Amino acid sequence: MRRRDFVVGLGMATAWLLPTRAQQTAIPVIGYLSLGSVDPRRDVIAAFNRGLRSSGYVDGRNVAIEYRGAEGRSDQLQTLAADLVQRQVDVIVATGTLAVLTAKTATSTIPIVFALGADPVKFGLVASLNRPGGNATGVSFLVNMMVAKQFEILHQTVPNAALIAFLVNPINPNTASDTKDIETAAGALGRKLLVVNASTEREIDAAVKAVVRERVGALFVHNDPFFVLRREQIVALVGYHAIPAIYAFRDFALAGGLMSYGTDQADAYRLAGEYCGQILKGAKPADLPVQQSTKFEFVINLKTAKALGLEIPLPLLVAADEVIE
């Protein structure tokens, strides 16, 4: 065979192989949508990846994850969701009620796996927990149970607090229903409730000032992604004014908050990762029942308790999953 014929033949063979190689190297893409920032949630993202690995998927090897965090700006969620849809990702993971609702509005075809502290049936995300029936499924936290328990723990810690404040984000879709739950809990214990709103950094400052002005005995911080993003600010302000407070996430206690009680985030996001893996292997969201996250964690920061001059009741210390000393 002449050299020129060999080169031409080799070129044709290479051109024929190129599409096959491209198909072999293509990997599925997961879009991750959150109202908050992705960086402070590295612990839950690690848990999510553990769930993915149960189906054989490893980020950067045979699956890619596109992260989109709105940094607390709810007006950016629609743009971020539209970007993931335009990129035609294989699955969208949405965290928090507002992000999930935005993702559901953005697409009715791309599978959505959610992790949220709300009833997905109530918000029209699924037809039922056992048979979602659409393009969304995932993990739901038992928020109603948490709100009552959080209030009970706070009351045991500060039994003489006649007035308790509830810090909420008014744009959170769960705020109205959770406020009713805590009002019921406060009434049952003969306590008055002061609801203070904040959806910006400046409003957080104003809300804490209102709490101080009203001589509130204790503070309950609502489960909200924006508050997680601003936890350093909230914990610093609350600590400066020596206000006993309970939070929904362990992150707050680690940042110096008095105590936290809520869903074990790592466990919930691991479950979400498992569902993503199943969907990438061909499962349909409509056929995957919504999972209820029933694993909770209770964290007490004894350093903060001592700084506040509080004696944590022994039953609470015994019940705590983690005590920071």
What band does 189 get if pLDDT is binned at 50, 70 and 90? confident
Strands 112-116 and 91-95: parallel
CA-wise closest residue to 277 among 90, 1, 20, 117: 90
Domains of the chain: 28-142+264-296 (3.40.50.2300), 143-263+297-324 (3.40.50.2300)
**Distance from C-alpha of 302 to C-alpha of 257, rounded to nearest angstrom:** 10
- In this prediction, residues 297-311 reach a mean pLDDT of 96
Of the candidate ranges 13-27, 142-156, 194-208, the one whose mean pLDDT is the lowest:
13-27
List pLDDT tens digits, range 266-296: 899 999 999 999 999 999 999 999 998 888 8
pLDDT in tens, 208-235: 999 999 999 999 999 888 999 899 999 9
* pLDDT class of 21 with cuts at 50, 70, 90: very low
Output the pLDDT for position 148: 81
Is the pLDDT at 6 greater than 60, yes or no?
Answer: no
Lowest mean pLDDT among 144-158, 193-207, 278-292: 144-158
Q: In what order do the strands lie in the sheet with 218-221?
A: 192-197, 163-168, 218-221, 245-247, 259-263, 296-301, 322-324
- Mean pLDDT value across residues 175-198: 92
Residue 242 pLDDT > 50: yes
pLDDT, mean over the chain: 89
Distance CA 202, CA 33 (A): 25
| 270 phi, psi to nearest 5 deg | -60, -45
The answer to whether residues 37 and 69 touch, using CB atoms and an 8 Å cutoff, is yes
Over the Cα atoms of the chain, what is R_g?
24
Under a CB-based contact definition with an 8 Å cutoff, are residues 91 and 111 in contact?
yes
Q: At a CB cut-off of 8 Å and minimum separation 6, what does 279 contact?
A: 90, 91, 111, 113, 285, 288
Whole-number Å distance between alpha carbons of 316 and 323: 10
Cα of first residue to Cα of last residue in the chain, in angstroms, is 81
Evaluate if residue 12 carries a pLDDT over 70.
no
Is a pLDDT exceeding 70 seen at residue 191?
yes
Mean pLDDT of 293-311: 94
> Could you report the per-residue pLDDT of 104-135, keeping only the tens digit for each?
999 999 999 999 888 899 999 999 999 999 99
pLDDT of residue 236 exceeding 70, the answer is: yes
Quick one: pLDDT band at residue 309, thresholds 50, 70, 90? very high
- Region for 45 from its dihedrals, namely left if φ exceeds 0, alpha if ψ lies in -120 to 50, beta otherwise: alpha
Do residues 271 and 51 lie in contact, with contact meaning Cβ atoms separated by under 8 Å? yes
Query: pTM for this structure?
Result: 0.81
